[in-house]
Structure 1
Amino acid sequence: MDPSSKPSDPSGERAGPDSAPAAGAQAASLSSAEILRGHKAVEIRHNGLTYRLQATRLGKLILTK
């Protein structure tokens, strides 16, 4: 196997940094404080789109496109 190629999942698609965890695999867990790092909102780029994750005054999270 070429060392520069990424491993494939069982469906034959190449796994990438934006790919979902495989069935049965444990997803990474981050606290909102780790993601927001003291900011009220952050922008998240995913599949060519930008999303905004915002913390409200009531402590809830809103994710918008």
Structure 2
Amino acid sequence: MQTLSIDRPVLRLQRVPAGRPRGAADEQPTPLASSAAPSFDSMALLRGSKVVEIAHNGSVYRLQATKLGKLILTK
């Protein structure tokens, strides 16, 4: 089984010192990467196969392409 490594955007929250009003500009998350979700072509994920397995948090999921061109993700 091959695994696919996907880089995810990371957000960091800054702590606001006690006594500062809530809603201060410092509380907004600071994006460290592009805010747009990464996009992948299904053909790149499937690599010519009809089914691939995806490991996520200790579980294995199956991504399957149907004859009608739809995708099914099952656990």
Tell me, yes or no, whether TM beats 0.5.
yes
Aligned-residue offset at 1:9:
2.9
Question: Structure 2: which 5+ residue stretches go unaligned?
Answer: 1-9, 15-30
Aligned counterparts, 1:1-65, within 5 A: 9-10=12-13, 25-65=35-75
TM-score by length of 1: 0.64
Question: Structure 1: which 5+ residue stretches go unaligned?
Answer: 1-6, 12-21
**For the residues of structure 2 that align with 1:39 and 1:10, how far apart are their CA atoms?**
41
How many residues align structurally?
49
TM-score by length of 2: 0.56
Aligned AA (1:47): N
**For the residues of structure 2 that align with 1:34 and 1:59, how far apart are their CA atoms?**
15
- Root-mean-square deviation (Å): 2.5
Partner of 2:12, secondary structure, is coil
Aligned-residue offset at 1:10:
2.0
Identical-residue share of aligned pairs (%):
56
Q: Which has the higher contact order (CA 8 A, sep 6+)?
A: 2
